[in-house]
Chain A
Amino acid sequence: MSAPTSSTDRTVAFAFATARAEGRAALVGYLPAGFPDVQGGIDAMLVMVEAGCDVIEVGLPYSDPVMDGPTIQAAAQQALERGARTDDVLRTVEAVAATGTPTVVMTYWNPVERYGVERFAAGLAAAGGAGLITPDLTPDFAPEWIAAADRHGLDKIFLVAPSSTPERVAMTVRASRGFVYATAVMGVTGARTTTSDLAGPLVSRTKQAVAEAGLDLPVGVGLGVGNGDQAAEVASYADAVIVGSAFVRTLLDHPDDRAAGLEALRALTHDLAEGVRRA
């Protein structure tokens, strides 16, 4: 495990820059906090850090996850049934961020609004969190979050989709900091057997919008990547490969043997980390 580093080194931008300097894409790994329980989730994320994830996305489990497929739904539901709270998410962030690996939270909006936008931003920053991915909050409805993120130096990671108009891609990249999250498919989360042919064109027009805005903002691609070969394919055109459901699936497949689950998670992370280096 890498030693804790300076606060600048914990940023998403630093992780992406490091990957770029190595001539490869970054690997971003997602797990919901509290799954299979709070400590179990932390243990799993630490394995993902050790085995090669450059950035960790800590999911905040939510009762109505409209962008998630059955795999992540099942994990979130299990976390909630076992009593995962918003404070547990921040506790998880603190444990993972302590490794020096940049750690962001991915959450539907209502839990943040309920917690208090300013209070959440302050709590996330205090836990060492780097920023927030907001799958159901677009920049045009996010002035309060944008202001709070700016006050606390947090990254604002908004999403673009294949259906986004050029105007909205431009608006979204201008509002984002850290990276832009390109949703590669029109559909919910979940590992797929083939990668999307919508992802490449979306990444290229997003990068064009980034260039036109005079920004230095990486573009990560998520939704559907489940193995090293797919990671290599996505890494050939994206700055980061974002993997979620495949990690969750791995833990779901080992409900009664956590050690085996963590070993499988380590093997998957190695495969993906090798994939992003192959391109």
Chain B
Amino acid sequence: MSTTSSPVPPSSGRFDADAQGWFGGPEQGWGGRFMPEALIAALDELTEAWTGAMADPAFVGEFEHVLRDYAGLPSPLFHATRLSEQVGCRVLLKREDLNHTGAHKIRNVLGQALLTKRMGKQRVIAETGAGQHGVASATAAAYFGLDCTVYMGAVDTRRQALNVARMHLLGAEVIPVESGSATLKDAINEALRDWVASVDHTAYLFGTAAGPHPFPSMVRDFTRGIGDESRAQCLEQYGVLPDAIAACVGGGSNAIGLFTAFLDDDDVAIYGFEPGGEGVDTPRHAATIHAADRGVLHGARTYVLQDADGQTLESHSISAGLDYPGVGPQHAHLAATGRATYLPVTDDEAMSAMALLSRTEGIIPAIETAHAVAGAIRVAERLAVEKGPEATVLISLSGRGDKDMGTAIEYFGLGETKVDLDDDITEEPVG
């Protein structure tokens, strides 16, 4: 196991996109930019602004400043001792749930909002599913004094009234989207329609590492602190790199944020856990890499849940934040090259892991995050057998679960009577 002292490893770039946004080059053809000509100039302008900003110490310094003083970063790397005892090896949690607004997403929106200011634009738009990216965008807009419009599926505005209220309080306009299936993908469509007409003065704060170039790479650059920090923290606190790292993958922004720092550490196994919904053998899931086909959605070639004619299918996950029929194209590339492994976690497995982490560590994770916890426990139990108690698994604890209590109340029947939470992961009652 390496004990290199450099906190942030130089990237070899072998998993990066080329200038056109292709991951794996045009031959592999993941990503790219399948977009209306009307938006190409704006995407070129954004690419230039982003690459210029990342090379500008003043921008990087200001980004680090707002992350530290406003968002509370770096987040701690926490040794989950009781969970470690249960699984038989060391489990480390990168505590993104402690960030301002409760998830990793604040990193992305602060980066994009700062870039918006740098580009001299005064208005931002965003899409949101459960409302987390919408709240984060409204927060960043308030902090930087930008106008903010959030598109949200009408179905979701009813399911997530609390987040709609938070966005209103933060000064954002929330527009319910009735078209199509009235969920996240339609909110993205509507935001793109706004952007075509407003692009001269408006920036689109895209919520995940998907979409047309440069969004997958730009969002990765703004979230990669998750991995850069936790790699350095792991080396500093334990003197080793982890044997395996794990994150949940919907669009994949927290996952790519964790993975990037470790891509050149060939001994570190990388796992992404996708929403398996009611099972990947049913139509009700959102495990795109594991169970979907290659296609183009929202400007990128990636894995897409689609029918025989290429019409996008509705995805399903108990976790609204993972409920997306596509996935970031760099994940498609990492899966195709075998550098990362993507596996499904069902709704039930995720909910069990939510209960388990709550009761072993006093941490209520977001249901999205619980997918990573459930999958990582499987990996940890295997590593404990193969390598013993010194094996280390590092999980991106991407968000806190307060927002999911409505789902948890319904799923577990919480609140009214004594509840017995069976745990089918460790096969031991944790209640």
Contact = CB atoms under 8 A, between A and B. Distances in A.
B298 A64 contact: yes
A63 B311 contact: yes
B34 interface: yes
Given A62-B311, A115-B310, A163-B199, 14 more contacts: A66-B36, A66-B193, A66-B196, A110-B297, A110-B312, A113-B295, A113-B296, A161-B36, A163-B41, A164-B37, A164-B38, A172-B37, A186-B196, A187-B193
A52 interface: no
A165 B41 contact: yes
A136 B312 CA distance: 16
9 contacts: A64-B297, A67-B193, A69-B193, A86-B309, A114-B310, A136-B36, A163-B40, A186-B197, A187-B197
Q: What secondary structure prevails in chain B residues at the interface with A? A: mixed
Contact of A183 (B38, B41, B312): B38
B42 interface: yes
Interface residues of A, number: 42
Interface of B: 20, 26, 32-42, 179-180, 185-186, 189, 192-193, 196-197, 199-200, 293, 295-299, 301, 304, 306, 308-312
A187 B196 contact: yes
A138 B189 contact: no
Interface string A174-189: 0000000001011110
Interface in A127-167: 135-138, 140-141, 143, 158-165
A277 interface: no
Contacts of A66: 36, 189, 192-193, 196, 298
A4 interface: no
A70 interface: yes
Contacts of B37: 138, 158-161, 163-164, 168, 172, 183
B7 to A, nearest CB: 38
A85 interface: yes
A138 B296 CA distance: 14
Contacts of B297: 64, 110
Contacts of B197: 185-188
A112 B301 CA distance: 13
Interface of A: 62-67, 69-70, 73, 77, 80, 85-86, 109-115, 135-138, 140-141, 143, 158-165, 168, 172, 183, 185-188
A114 to B, nearest CB: 3
Nearest to B42: A163
Contacts of A168: 37, 40-41
Contacts of A110: 295-297, 304, 306, 310, 312
A57 B193 CA distance: 22
Contacts of A109: 34, 296
Given A86-B309, A113-B296, A163-B42, A141 B196 contact: no
A186 B298 contact: no
Contacts of A186: 38, 196-197, 199-200
A86 B197 CA distance: 30
Nearest to A87: B309
Given A66-B189, A69-B193, A77-B180, A111 B310 contact: yes
